[in-house]
Amino acid sequence: MAKYIFVTGGVVSSLGKGIVASSIGVLLKARGLKVTMQKFDPYINVDPGLMSPLQHGEVFVTKDGAETDLDLGHYERFIDENLTRYSSVSSGRVYKAVIDNERKGKYAGKTVQVIPHITDEIKRLLKRAATNTKADVVIVEIGGTVGDMESLPFLEAIRQARRDFGHENTFYIHATLVPYLKAAGELKTKPTQHSVKELKSLGIQPDMLVLRSEEPIEQEHIDKISLFTDLPPESILQSYDMKVVYEILLNLQQQHIDDIILKHFELDNLKKANVKQWQQLVEQIKKSDKKLTIAIIGKYVSLHDAYISIIESLRHAGFKMSTLIDLIWVDSEKVTDLNISKHLEGADGIIIPGGFGHRGTEGKLLALEYGRKNLIPTLGICFGMQLAAIEFAQNVLGISDVCSEEFENCHNPIIQKNSNHKFKLGEYTTNLKEGSKIREIYNQSQIRERHRHRFEFNPEFSDLFEQNGMMITGYNRQIKAVDVLELENHPWYIHVQYHPEYISRPLKPHPLFLSFLEACKNNKNLKTD
Ligand code: GLN
């Protein structure tokens, strides 16, 4: 039987309960347990695949090809484990499964209800998260705030989980806000008291509270909260603002978060967690004394979360180089040939991220041309690579009508529908060409990276590209797909059909982002010399 840790939030959203959940994951893994994580989201969309990045931020793709909530990206980066399609559960997904079952007559004529049918489906998914990964511990974050109508079925299911799975196999953590009222000069515990009361009224007595605040909270407040919530003061932890996000996990460890949980699980004889690498990372980040400026050109730049994995990947690589990353956000729809150099003159490197649809592509093409001609390190990801192919064909090969089949009325598709896959999602193999820059970067002849696209490079253009210096250096032999383009006679102009940003981790920066930043550093040095 796997152990389950449920993390709910109270008072307000954006409390960082995901960071609390992930930190617990890191600590329990470091104690030798196999950990997986799961997110419950109250929205009715079956998955975030069709949601606008401006609404919901990035869609995170798992190794097994599920389009999931961006929180899974944070989990994977923290706990350094690949999650699965069972890790992302929305209300829509749960209801769809139940309604599909009902239509197939699987409920033998019974009246289908929230309890037990919806809650049973949620519990089935709780179990699948564990069986699918063979995890000892499943950490489940319940999206939204306790008191929202929307998350009630999830809360009811986790309440039942204690009854079904056993007291010693379930642990409830409630993260709440303890605000500081400046005018009164006081910390306020009442919202926390009310939030716990609300949770109790749903039948859930938390085993631990994590209090979020701007400053450390004094014992008298902890004691007061203890009195009102029936929790011993030792089980009331705090998470106050830290300079570096990874310090939160060190701080929670100092408060024995893992010891308390493992004691409850009757697993208290495990080795201590070694967090030396995280301590070193925090020190390294604090010591960062260099800076690089990277421009990201996209259609969704008004919501930075739309590119969160790319931002994180740049940061990870930066940590290793003691370098902080400054980002220039360029709205591709506002770029013209008159203002492009103004937008990009301060950039040490350029990234053209993934995207969909024709709108805004002109600006991205201009940015690719700028990076190519001015010898600025340029990385195109997915749609970015497809546009790099179009830019090269138009401006270097002089084939002005090339386009993508994704665009309307495309008669000369250099980017075409892939005949093998409707939507290529998840991990695939890419073979890297001997002697290429990309092969040197990975130092491997074969890599596995995650994909998310419907269209691909048309291999009929391969010879012409290579004769003119744009080399095809990554290739999926099995399904004959072009995965990497790189330009000769340019310091760093590499484009990939896959999404390297999904697999970078703070303690294991991705080689492609590292190499990209190294090239940006050289570019910056050249400029300042
Ligand atoms: N729109 C492109 C395709 O579907 C690229 C997708 C992406 O960038 N993720 O092929």
Domains of the chain: 3-281 (3.40.50.300), 288-528 (3.40.50.880)
Of 307, 352, 358, 386, the one to substitute when testing ligand 1's pocket (max ligand atoms within 8 A of C-beta) is 386
Q: Please answer whether residues 431 and 446 qualify as being in contact, where contact means their C-beta atoms are separated by less than 8 angstroms.
A: yes
**CA-based nearest residue to 63, from 33, 90, 34, 36:** 36
CA distances from 294 to 12, 53, 371, 520, 527 (A): 33, 21, 12, 8, 15
Q: Which residues are near ligand 1 (CB < 6 Å)?
A: 354-356, 382-383, 406, 452-455
Of 422, 455, 482, 501, the one to substitute when testing ligand 1's pocket (max ligand atoms within 8 A of C-beta) is 455
Would you state the pLDDT for residue 268?
81
How many Å lie between the centroid of ligand 1 and the Cα of residue 426?
A: 13
Would you state the pLDDT for residue 55?
85
**Stated length of the chain:** 529
Q: What is the DSSP letter of 134?
A: T
Q: Please answer whether residues 471 and 465 qualify as being in contact, where contact means their C-beta atoms are separated by less than 8 angstroms.
A: yes
Separation CA 450–CA 21 (nearest Å): 25
How many Å lie between the centroid of ligand 1 and the Cα of residue 341?
A: 26
Average pLDDT of the chain to the nearest whole number: 94
pLDDT-derived band at 517 (thresholds 50, 70, 90) equals: very high
Around Cβ 507, how many Cβ atoms within 10 Å? Answer: 16
Structure-block tokens of residue 157: 């299911």
Separation CA 36–CA 38 (nearest Å): 7
The pTM for the full model equals 0.94
**Which ligand 1 atom is the nearest neighbour of the CA of 406?**
1
Q: Please answer whether residues 337 and 299 qualify as being in contact, where contact means their C-beta atoms are separated by less than 8 angstroms.
A: no
Strands (E), 121-163: 137-142
Q: H helices within 347-425, ranges in order?
A: 361-373, 383-395
Tokens 């944070």 belong to which residue? 74
The model's pLDDT over 392-408, given as tens digits with 9 standing for 90+, comes to: 999 999 999 999 999 99
Would you state the pLDDT for residue 495?
98
Separation CA 122–CA 100 (nearest Å): 15
**CA-based nearest residue to 89, from 54, 58, 124:** 124
The model's pLDDT over 464-500, given as tens digits with 9 standing for 90+, comes to: 999 999 999 999 988 889 999 999 999 999 999 999 9
Would you state the pLDDT for residue 387?
98
Would you state the pLDDT for residue 161?
97
Separation CA 310–CA 242 (nearest Å): 23
Average pLDDT score over residue span 497-508: 97
Average pLDDT score over residue span 144-150: 90
The model's pLDDT over 42-97, given as tens digits with 9 standing for 90+, comes to: 999 998 888 888 888 999 999 999 999 999 999 999 999 999 999 999 999 999 99
Separation CA 210–CA 239 (nearest Å): 7
**CA-based nearest residue to 26, from 198, 245, 351:** 245
Would you state the pLDDT for residue 422?
80
Q: Using CA positions, which residue lies closest to atom 8 of ligand 1?
A: 354
How many Å lie between the centroid of ligand 1 and the Cα of residue 383?
A: 5
How many Å lie between the centroid of ligand 1 and the Cα of residue 414?
A: 14
* Cα atoms found within 13 Å of the Cα of residue 410, Cβ hemisphere only: 16
Separation CA 13–CA 514 (nearest Å): 34
Would you state the pLDDT for residue 525?
84
3-state helix, strand, coil in the chain (%, to 5): 45, 25, 35
User: For 193, phi and psi rounded to 5 degrees?
Assistant: -55, -45
Of 296, 300, 310, 383, the one to substitute when testing ligand 1's pocket (max ligand atoms within 8 A of C-beta) is 383
- Burial (CB < 10 A; 0-12, 13-18, 19+), residue 394, is middle
Structure-block tokens of residue 235: 């089980």
The contacts of residue 113 (CB under 8 Å, 6+ apart) are none
The contacts of residue 351 (CB under 8 Å, 6+ apart) are 294, 295, 296, 297, 310, 314, 378, 379, 380, 381, 384
Would you state the pLDDT for residue 453?
95
Tokens 């950039």 belong to which residue? 347
Q: Please answer whether residues 292 and 318 qualify as being in contact, where contact means their C-beta atoms are separated by less than 8 angstroms.
A: yes
Q: In this structure, are strands 290-298 and 236-240 parallel, antiparallel, or unpaired?
A: unpaired
Would you state the pLDDT for residue 186?
86
Say yes or no to pLDDT of 14 above 80: no
Say yes or no to pLDDT of 420 above 90: no
Say yes or no to pLDDT of 143 above 80: yes
Report, as residue numbers or ranges, the catalytic residues. Answer: 382, 499, 501
Identify the three-state secondary structure at position 39. Answer: strand
CA distances from 99 to 41, 107, 113, 219, 445 (A): 18, 10, 10, 50, 46
Average pLDDT score over residue span 124-137: 95
